[in-house]
Structure 1
Amino acid sequence: MANENLQKAVESLKAAKVRMTPQRHAILEFLFETNTHPTADEIYKALEEKFPNMSVATVYNNLRVFKGAGIVKELTYGDSSSRFDSITDNHYHIICKDCGKIVDFHYPVLDEVETLAEHVTNFKVDSHRMEIYGRCPACTSKEPVHS
């Protein structure tokens, strides 16, 4: 599935006359193969050995292009660095308060909240976002056991 979505993203960029450089393709491939919602710095660190002449600015610039093309979503949480998600359909995130891990989950019933909000407030709703915070299994298992 990731490979199919990657191919669609590449075709979409080519249709928009965006030149497909090896670095751009590698960044896209990393985004579509990982489900960790990486930061630009994490993408840079993952690819720097393969592309030693690539800068962090190159990663940021490409992410901006991808975001403008609707291929990735930029996620911002508090003061932390932006994270990037290659899944652009409506879905939600649960975030570990300890390690920062982000996991996707889908719950289509929540999409109805936009319709309800419009009905109750007469606003024209564009989108919504929901985040759930907790502790991932790995961090929970590190807790000291109380006797």
Structure 2
Amino acid sequence: MRNTTQRNLILDIINNSCEHLTAEEVYEIARKSILNISLGTVYRNLNILVELQKIRKIKTFDGKDHYDKLHIKHNHFICLKCNKIFDIHETSNIDYKNIPDDFEIVNYDITYSGYCNECKKGK
């Protein structure tokens, strides 16, 4: 699959963001560089980039998909109240002893849920 200008821009937006952006947020940023880009093009390219394992999709409890860069392996914490996503950089290793020997792990995704400090204070 060939890279397109739009796909490269969308990948750059995700990789340069400190946030976990939605497709709509990526679209708003992309329109600053490519005025005629459509939201459909953004969705299509985000899905392609996920399939190509260039970015990852994070599903939140409010039903919105968010997108994140892949170059640093990390997990996520999603607040059940405000739906904000926080990066969790694990220092411990995953325990693989419960996985059958004939299985091959190619990826894993761990998402914690609970209440962030701000929402916990307001409970």
Structure-2-length-normalised TM-score? 0.77
* SS of 1:35 mapped into structure 2: coil
**Aligned counterparts of 1:24 and 1:55: Cα–Cα separation in 2:** 12
Aligned in 2, Cα 1:96/1:30: closer, same or farther, shift over 3 Å? same
Where does residue 9 of structure 1 map in the other structure? none
Where does residue 103 of structure 2 map in the other structure? 124
Unaligned runs of 5+ residues in structure 2 are none
Higher relative contact order (CA 8 A, sep 6+): 2
**Aligned counterparts of 1:98 and 1:78: Cα–Cα separation in 2:** 9
The one-letter code matched in structure 2 to 1:77 is T
Where does residue 35 of structure 1 map in the other structure? 18
* SS of 1:109 mapped into structure 2: coil
Cα distance per residue 1:5-31 (max 9 Å; x no partner): xxxxxxxxxxxx62341x323211210
Aligned in 2, Cα 1:128/1:49: closer, same or farther, shift over 3 Å? closer
1:77 pairs, out of 57, 60, 66, with 60
Higher helix share: 1
Where does residue 28 of structure 2 map in the other structure? 45
Structure-1-length-normalised TM-score? 0.66
**Aligned counterparts of 2:9 and 2:21: Cα–Cα separation in 1:** 14
Shift of the alpha carbon at 1:42?
Answer: 1.8
- The 10-residue stretch of structure 1 (84-93 or 62-71) with the greater mean CA deviation from structure 2: 84-93
Q: What is the aligned-residue identity percentage? A: 25
Shift of the alpha carbon at 1:78?
Answer: 4.5
Equivalence map 1:1-147=2 (5 Å): 18-21=2-5, 23-78=6-61, 80-87=63-70, 90-112=73-95, 115-118=96-99, 124=103, 126=105, 127-140=107-120, 143=122
Runs of 4+ in 1 over 4 A off after TM superposition: none
User: Number of matched residues?
Assistant: 122
